[in-house]
């Protein structure tokens, strides 16, 4: 059952207005379903848009940000719960433990890294939570093509590739997350190992 959804997204707004519009729709979709937002704690870029949308709609927002970024005054101090942690590693671990699903909007290197790490954790059996990409304006087409290439070249199992769901609308992606059943694949780690 979904209660909290972690959203990975850019600390920039991107070149197209569609990106911010999509972030706003994600916030609205979370509100409509009574879901809480967990995110990186920033008040800028797409991060700020999704957090503000949920807050203005009366929803609950938990942000997790490292000390270094908080000191640079990018932390959103107007959210429900801002957690300041020691490192980026602690940030990702905290967001993962708080969340029941993960979706990624457009973003840069940090968003890519968070997305790939959380799907890696799923592949390794460290969690069995849904992971998805919101493919706004085809933003993730190149990544998806590359992942399919990795499957074709036998570096990634088809079952593991299917762990990453994709949609171009927030409601569709949240529906996929709600219906997600993890595939039965060989795990490299037993539950509780890391």
pLDDT of residue 174: 98
Beta bridge partners of 42: 75
Give how many domains the chain has, as a whole number: 1
Q: Is 169 within the bounds of a domain?
A: yes
Helix (H) or strand (E) holding 131: strand 131-134
Name residue, tokens 């979904």: 2
Q: What is the CATH number of the domain that holds 72?
A: 3.40.50.450
What per-residue string of b and e applies to 150-162 under the rule 16 or more CB within 10 Å gives b? eeeeeebeeebee
Q: Give residue-wise pLDDT tens across range 89-126.
A: 999 999 999 999 999 999 999 999 999 999 999 998 89
Q: Is 185 within the bounds of a domain?
A: no
DSSP letter for 41, please. Answer: -
pLDDT band, very low/low/confident/very high, at 154 (cuts 50, 70, 90)? very high
Q: Give residue-wise pLDDT tens across range 7-55.
A: 999 999 999 999 999 999 999 999 999 999 999 999 999 999 999 999 9
Q: Is 116 within the bounds of a domain?
A: yes
Q: Is 189 within the bounds of a domain?
A: no
Q: Choose among 82, 71, 96, 3: nearest CA to 47.
A: 82
pLDDT of residue 71: 80
Q: Give residue-wise pLDDT tens across range 61-95.
A: 999 999 999 888 799 999 999 999 999 999 999 99
Q: Choose among 176, 156, 157, 158: nearest CA to 166.
A: 176
How many residues are recorded in the chain?
194
pTM recorded for the entire structure: 0.93
pLDDT of residue 183: 81
Residue ranges making up the domain that contains 79 = 4-179
């Amino acid at each position: 059952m979904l209660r909290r959804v972690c959203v990975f997204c850019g600390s920039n707004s991107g070149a197209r207005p569609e990106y911010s519009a999509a972030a706003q729709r994600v916030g609205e979709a979370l509100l409509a379903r009574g879901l809480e937002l967990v995110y990186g704690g920033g008040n800028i870029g797409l991060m700020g848009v999704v957090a503000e949308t949920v807050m203005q709609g009366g929803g609950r927002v938990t942000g997790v940000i490292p000390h270094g970024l908080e000191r640079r005054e990018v932390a959103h101090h107007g959210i429900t719960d801002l957690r300041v942690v020691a490192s980026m590693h602690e940030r990702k671990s905290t967001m993962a433990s708080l969340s029941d699903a993960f979706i990624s909007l457009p973003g840069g290197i940090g968003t890519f890294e968070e997305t790939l790490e959380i799907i890696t954790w799923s592949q390794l059996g460290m969690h069995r939570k849904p992971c998805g990409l919101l493919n706004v304006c085809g933003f993730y087409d190149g990544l998806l093509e590359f992942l399919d290439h990795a499957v074709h070249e036998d570096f990634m199992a088809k079952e593991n590739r299917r762990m990453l769901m994709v949609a171009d609308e927030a409601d569709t992606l949240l529906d996929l997350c709600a219906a997600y059943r993890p595939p039965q694949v060989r795990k490299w780690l037993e539950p509780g190992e890391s």
